[in-house]
Amino acid sequence: MLFRLAADAVLLLHLGFIVFVLLGGLLALRWRRVPLLHLPAAAWGVYIELSGGLCPLTPLENRLRVLAGQVGFEGGFIEHYLLPLIYPAGLTRDTQFVLAGVVVIVNLLAYGFVLRRRCMRR
């Protein structure tokens, strides 16, 4: 039971990290130091997508699920949990490039908005 709870906690952490990577730039509207955490996280997210690598949280969750007597899964977090919600087919390199592009574009727009708002306040 403990390993299953730990695997579920890693799953929630992973999902939270992905949301932070995608939308964390908007938190800079409220907290000025958020970019110190967000920009490295966003760079990591883009790197993982472009390199085709796996986030270390994926094998950790799989290992915890196996220890809990559950079946682990093949592939990565996005491929297993998020892609079935968005795309009926499996994860491809082209899809990974698109996902990386979405992260970059959304964050450029978010930081552009943040900088514009800060400049308007002065």
In order, the DSSP letters of 16-37 are: HHHHHHHHGGGGGGT-TTHHHH
45-90 pLDDT, tens digit per residue, is: 889 888 878 888 888 988 888 898 877 666 666 556 655 654 446 6
Note the pLDDT of residue 35: 93
Instruction: Give pLDDT tens digits for 8-33.
Output: 888 888 889 988 998 898 898 888 89
89 compared with 34, residue with greater pLDDT? 34
3-state SS class at 93: helix
Question: Which residues are CB-neighbours of 13 under 8 A, at least 6 positions away?
Answer: 57
Residue 76's nearest CA partner among 98, 94, 92, 64 is 92
Structure tokens at 70: 């559950």
Q: What is the pTM of this model?
A: 0.70
- CA gap 17, 21 in Å, rounded: 6
Contact 22, 106 (CB under 8 A): yes
- The answer to whether 35 touches 25, Cβ cutoff 8 Å, is yes
